[in-house]
Amino acid sequence: MCEAVEPAELVEPEGFDEFWRDYLVGLAFTAQEDNEEGCGGVLPMWSNPGGSIEDVVDPDDVERILRECGDYDDLRGDCIDFLACAFQHKYLTPDDVAGGAGSNFHFTRNRHGAGFWDGDWKCGNELTYLSHPYSTAELMWRRKPDATEEELDGFEGYEWMVVH
């Protein structure tokens, strides 16, 4: 975090939309089921054995879920702040955003064992250090007890929460 900036004052840096959509895909990729056994389990509609998560996750769906959870503005603000700070320190350029910077920010801030530090980022250590002050934010889901099979094929059959 560079400077304390009020959310209303945040300005989206160049390339932010691509960064945000990639962040949403990373958030969906690590989403876990909250069940009686603890946490675990991939959401069936986001399962793609042998394929890419980008092939099955629609970032618009994840954005809608975050709005329903009430965490949309906070997470979007974190992403704007991080990207602006990374540009300010010249750790990233707008050209770097297309290389998965959004999902790497998600993985790094949540300490998933992957992220900026283990890739080909020219300032991987600096980006890791910049990511860690942001609080963790994980997407969790739970099947609604009375959900029908049809509802479980879509998002209506699940309750959503962002765990910090």
* Domain presence at residue 96: yes
* Domain presence at residue 6: no
What pLDDT shows up at residue 58?
80
* Domain presence at residue 64: yes
* Residue position matching structure tokens 């990639």: 22
Secondary-structure breakdown of the chain: helix, strand, coil percentages, each rounded to the nearest 5: 50, 10, 40
* Domain presence at residue 92: yes
* Domain presence at residue 2: no
What pLDDT shows up at residue 4?
47
* Domain presence at residue 8: no
3-state DSSP assignment of residue 120: coil
What pLDDT shows up at residue 150?
87
* Domain presence at residue 1: no
Write the DSSP string, 60-85: HHHHHHHHHHT-HHHHHHHHHHHHHH
DSSP secondary structure code for residue 136 in this structure: P
Long-range contacts of 65-74 (CB under 8 A, 24+ apart): 65/139, 65/155, 65/160, 66/24, 66/139, 66/162, 68/160, 69/160, 69/161, 69/162, 71/137, 71/162, 73/7, 74/137
What is the layout of strands, in order, in the sheet containing 38-39?
38-39, 32-35, 138-143, 158-163
Kindly report the number of other CB atoms within 10 A of residue 124's CB atom.
17
pLDDT in tens, the chain (164 residues): 555 445 546 688 999 999 999 999 899 888 887 766 655 665 655 565 555 656 667 888 889 989 998 999 999 999 999 999 999 999 998 888 888 999 999 999 999 988 998 878 999 999 999 999 999 999 888 888 899 988 887 778 888 889 88
What pLDDT shows up at residue 48?
57
Distances in whole angstroms, Cα of residue 6 to Cα of each of 11, 44, 73, 92: 10, 38, 12, 23
What pLDDT shows up at residue 99?
84
* Domain presence at residue 113: yes
Domain count, the chain: 1
The domain of 113 spans 13-163
pTM of the model: 0.86
CA–CA distance, 55 with 146 (Å, rounded to integer): 29
